[in-house]
């Protein structure tokens, strides 16, 4: 196991917090009821934070929520490739500080979605590709244009790409992309987004009145065997946070 796992700030802080809780107050015996409740809450929070920061719990949570990839050939068999629409959801872009091309400044999720969309395009064939979304911190077309540039570099014809730059969130992605898909009289629509984001995305498209087939990317792999599964890390906690975010999003009325 890499020594770096033991110097992760989250791991160090959790160990320090646990040690402090153990040593504080003279052990486990408390006479004041309020002190006992406070100690129980503190230890519960510590345990929950530790577990959510471990690959074992985080991977299980993410995999449970995520949509699994599958072969779409049977479901697309009744449609012509030229009458199919591929909808790709964007995922954020960094500011231009050093003249880096926009397609390289996409978030990691955006690049993964671009790579996955290009693969899905080559595998099944589509008449149009809708790139949906904007980053409200940037110029309206910058994010969708960046993804389009990467898709073109990966072999998707630019003339088949339609930029949808009104959407600010998943609900608006569904509303605006569904409107475009209907205007194209599409026989079938396939959505590409992260596997963890896919359940919420497909629900929003259903509410927008468009039946879509999911083509998720970046399905979370199982963690490596061994004690490292129980060692917390900042990265793993961030992954759990994204999973909780998607769970809360599924509760949106």
Three-state secondary-structure class, residue 106: strand
Please give the Cα distance from 155 to 206 (Å, whole number).
Answer: 30
pLDDT of residue 141: 96
Which sequence spans correspond to the domains of the chain? 3-64+229-250, 70-214
Mean of pLDDT values over 167-181: 97
Q: For residue 213, what are the β-bridge partners? A: 190
Please give the Cα distance from 235 to 238 (Å, whole number).
Answer: 5
Q: Which two tokens stand for residue 108?
A: 């990691």
pLDDT of residue 14: 82
For residue 61, pLDDT over 80 is answered with yes
- CATH class for the domain made up of 70-214: alpha beta
Mean of pLDDT values over 176-197: 98
For residue 200, pLDDT over 80 is answered with yes
pLDDT in tens, 82-102: 999 999 999 999 999 999 999
Mean of pLDDT values over 157-174: 97
pTM for this prediction:
0.89
Spatial contact of 110 and 92, defined as CB atoms under 8 Å apart? yes
Please give the Cα distance from 136 to 94 (Å, whole number).
Answer: 12
How many residues are present in the chain? 253
Q: Radius of gyration of the chain from Cα atoms?
A: 22
Give me the residue label for tokens 């990839």: 69
pLDDT of residue 30: 47
**Confidence class for position 4, pLDDT limits 50, 70, 90:** low
pLDDT in tens, 8-26: 767 887 888 887 777 665 5
Mean pLDDT check: name the lowest of 37-51, 127-141, 226-240.
37-51
- Of all residues in the chain, the percent with pLDDT exceeding 90 is 74
pLDDT of residue 11: 81
Dihedral sign of CA atoms 20, 25, 29, 33 in order: negative
Mean of pLDDT values over 217-234: 92
Quick one: which of 250, 106, 63, 107 has its CA closest to 170?
250
Please give the Cα distance from 73 to 215 (Å, whole number).
Answer: 12
């Amino acid at each position: 196991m890499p020594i770096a796992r033991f110097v992760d700030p989250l791991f160090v802080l959790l160990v320090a917090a646990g040690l402090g809780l153990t040593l504080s107050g003279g052990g486990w015996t408390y006479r004041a009821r309020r002190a006992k409740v406070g100690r129980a809450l503190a230890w519960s929070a510590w345990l929950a934070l530790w577990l959510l920061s471990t690959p074992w719990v985080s991977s299980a949570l993410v995999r449970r929520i995520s949509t699994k990839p599958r072969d779409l050939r049977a479901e697309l068999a009744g449609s012509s490739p030229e009458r199919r629409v591929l909808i790709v959801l964007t995922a954020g872009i960094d500011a231009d500080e050093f003249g880096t091309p926009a397609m390289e400044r996409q978030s990691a999720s955006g690049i993964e979605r671009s790579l996955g969309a290009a693969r899905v395009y080559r595998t099944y064939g589509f008449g149009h590709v809708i790139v949906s979304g904007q980053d409200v911190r940037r110029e309206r077309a910058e994010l969708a244009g960046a993804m389009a540039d990467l898709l073109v570099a990966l072999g998707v014809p630019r003339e088949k790409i339609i930029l949808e730059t009104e959407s600010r969130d998943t609900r608006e992605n569904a509303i605006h992309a569904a409107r475009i898909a209907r205007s194209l009289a599409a026989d079938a629509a396939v959505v590409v987004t992260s596997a963890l984001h896919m359940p919420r995305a497909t629900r929003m498209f259903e509410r927008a009145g468009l039946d879509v087939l999911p083509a998720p990317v970046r399905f979370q792999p199982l963690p490596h065997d061994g004690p490292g599964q129980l060692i917390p890390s900042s990265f793993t906690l961030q992954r759990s946070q994204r999973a909780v975010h998607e769970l809360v999003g599924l509760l949106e009325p």
